[in-house]
Structures are given as structure tokens and as C-alpha cells.
């Protein structure tokens, strides 16, 4: 699916698996020109996604607040 959307899943500079954000991990970070654009959490079919929403939001917040403080 990522390939259909124009992402090169074999280039870790674009699609980074198990991306670490302040000691937490997201399944994938989609990057463009060295900057994170999207965090993706992969769950099995039928999984209640509401239970995992907080994980992605916290990771995004930690990354953004770290960038604002000068940490990358």
C-alpha cells in the first residue's frame, strides 16, 4: 500500500520501521527530506483501534515537543 502512495518501503530514509521516539516506538515513520511526516501503528484486522490511539498521539507529541526544544 505504501508503494501505491509513492513511498519507497525499501528506503529506510523514507520508511523507517520501529522508529524510536523518546523511548517509545511506532511501527513505521514516513519521512520526507529527513523530516517525519507520518507515524503508523500496525494492528491486526479486527483490533479495537480506539485502544491504541493514545500510543500514536503520545509519540507524535513527544516528537514535536522534542523538535521544539531542539532535540531531533
pLDDT of 7 over the 60 cut? yes
Judge whether 38 lies within some domain: yes
Total domain count for the chain? 1
pLDDT of 63 over the 80 cut? no
Judge whether 49 lies within some domain: yes
The pairs formed by 24-32 with CB atoms below 8 angstroms and a separation of 24 or more are 24/55, 24/58, 24/59, 24/62, 25/59, 26/55, 26/56, 26/59, 30/2
Task: Tell whether pTM > 0.85.
Answer: no
Judge whether 24 lies within some domain: yes
Domain that holds residue 39: 15-68
Find the radius of gyration of the CA atoms of the chain.
Answer: 13
Residue 60, pLDDT score: 67
Judge whether 10 lies within some domain: no
Amino acid at each position: 500500500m505504501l508503494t501505491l502512495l509513492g513511498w519507497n518501503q525499501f528506503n529506510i530514509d523514507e520508511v523507517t520501521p520501529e522508529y524510536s521516539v523518546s523511548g517509545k516506538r511506532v511501527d513505521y515513520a514516513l519521512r520526507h527530506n529527513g523530516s517525519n511526516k507520518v507515524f503508523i501503528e500496525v494492528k491486526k484486522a479486527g483490533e479495537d483501534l480506539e485502544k491504541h490511539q493514545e500510543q500514536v498521539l503520545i509519540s507524535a507529541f513527544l516528537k514535536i515537543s522534542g523538535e521544539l526544544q531542539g532535540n531531533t
